[in-house]
Chains A and B, each alone.
Chain A
Amino acid sequence: MKKYISTTIIFSALIFMTPSFGQNKKYTINLSKPGTEGILKIDVYNASISVRGYDGENIEFNIIDKRKGKDRGFGNAEAYYNIVEDNNFVIINNRDNSPHGRVKGLSLELKVPKNFSVNLSTYFGPEIQVSEIKGEIEVDGYFTDITVDNAIADVVGSTNHGDIGVTLSKVIESKTYYMSSYKGNVHISLPKDTDATLLIDNYFGKYQSDFQLNLNAKATTKTTKFIRRDINGGGPEIQLINYFGDIFIRSK
């Protein structure tokens, strides 16, 4: 009984659905503590994911359905996902091991309060986009292009067969910046006055920079795997790794 009541309360208090028209369906995930920081974790097998920080207090969730052919026969797209909200932790994932995870043509678009942290992951999803998020950003894909815009906190991203592009609004000493791609290119854009130390590890590719890169004075016999280069005298470390792509460091 207690379980039933608590589940009912959680459901009724947290999720209100207001489907719109056409192939897009919009929902609001009401947060336990609206407007305050929280975590959004999405782990889906095959969907593009777009998350944008906004000034609202709850999460706006939009499913864009562009399925074609046979994929349209797999029922309503909304049925593919579990959504759980608990104390501002929101988890969205594929409902179970059913074939729905393999269906192509779905995009999940979300607007979250700016101070949220996000942890986003897809395997076949072609794209992950994150913008205007003040919290930590963790993004993982496999056949996925990753774009992160205007990040100010930690950014940890990896993809195997896609490009990864990150624009940092500023680089902060205590934060972690760690980007990797196996066969794609890695792009990073930094403000002109950034003080940072780049740790570059690209085995079979090349790297290009708009900044003048100076040999890092602290380079020791340790961390021999990395090419260590300073931008404007050096500072917080930014690690950029790829194997068969190129690395581009841009000034903005």
Chain B
Amino acid sequence: MNYDKHKVKELLHNYYEGKTSLSEEQYLSDYFNSPRDLGDLERYRAEFKYCADLRIQKTNKDFSIKNIDTPQLKTLEDRLSKKGFSLLHAAAGFILFVVGFGVGKTFPESNTDTYRHEIGLLRQETQQLRSLMISSLTNHPFASQRIQGIKAIGHHYSESNDKILILLGQYLNEDDNLNVRLASIQVLSDFEQTVLSKKIILNALEHQDSPMIIIGLLQLIKDFAGNDKEVDEALQKLKNQRNLDIEIEKEINNMLNPI
């Protein structure tokens, strides 16, 4: 089939405006999935290939069924297949934590190197299993479990360390569930501010599109980061670069120009 490149470009424009018909989308899909040199349009090939892959087999003229190996399902499956394993780890972690705590409490006080060494090892193991328990929860497919994992960080660690802060930062920027991100903000607010936590908060401010998260971060900055040049620059950047919710704009103005 011969394709008119001008028409393709026009349809592409309409496609991203949401104005194309089903037949026009099929035209685009066929064009980008054909083995041809696409020149400056090559960058669109991957997207239309992905869309075509979703329609492996038409069930009839109405429905289409996705390939069972779609990345979304795969991710869900992967996460779910870990569920039993994760819960087992969580349970083992919890039991060993309790046992370790009990053993540590009841162990006779001894100055011998052997006892000290064993207690040290036990504590180390308990610490590792506690981390594993948290890790298994924070990787769970359901937001409820990830929230529990993040809250567990707040409960178990009285002081932050770099690993924890980076983990919280990851959830703050990457989790697709808004409440998981809110939970990360709340746990971040529990820890004392460090240079790294401040960087994570300011960095997150740039990456969020949810007004609820942005305003949560602004409150966090107000609570403990205070205003300095770095904060003011981040706020100014946010104010200039985005089509902001009016309440957020007010909040930024209040922070930049305190009475």
Contact = CB atoms under 8 A, between A and B. Distances in A.
Contacts of A180: 178-179, 182, 212
Interface stretch (B18-26, B97-105, B126-134): B18-26
A178 B144 contact: yes
Nearest to B190: A222
Interface in B60-94: 60-68, 70, 72-73, 76-77, 80
State the main secondary structure of chain B at its contact with A. helix
Given A86-B73, A176-B148, A243-B247, A99 B65 contact: no
B68 A86 contact: yes
A158 B212 contact: yes
A31 B67 CA distance: 17
Nearest to B70: A84
Contacts of B255: none
Interface residues of B, number: 50
Given A17-B60, A98-B20, A180-B212, A89 B76 contact: yes
19 contacts: A7-B67, A11-B65, A79-B64, A84-B65, A86-B73, A89-B73, A89-B77, A91-B73, A96-B25, A97-B51, A99-B19, A138-B142, A138-B144, A154-B144, A156-B142, A156-B179, A176-B147, A176-B148, A180-B178
Given A79-B63, A89-B77, 11 more contacts: A15-B65, A82-B54, A91-B72, A98-B18, A117-B142, A158-B177, A178-B143, A180-B179, A182-B212, A223-B190, A225-B223
Interface of A: 3-4, 6-8, 10-11, 15, 17, 39, 41, 74-76, 78-79, 81-84, 86, 89, 91, 93, 95-99, 102, 117, 119, 136, 138, 140, 154-158, 160, 175-176, 178-182, 201, 203, 222-226, 241, 243-244
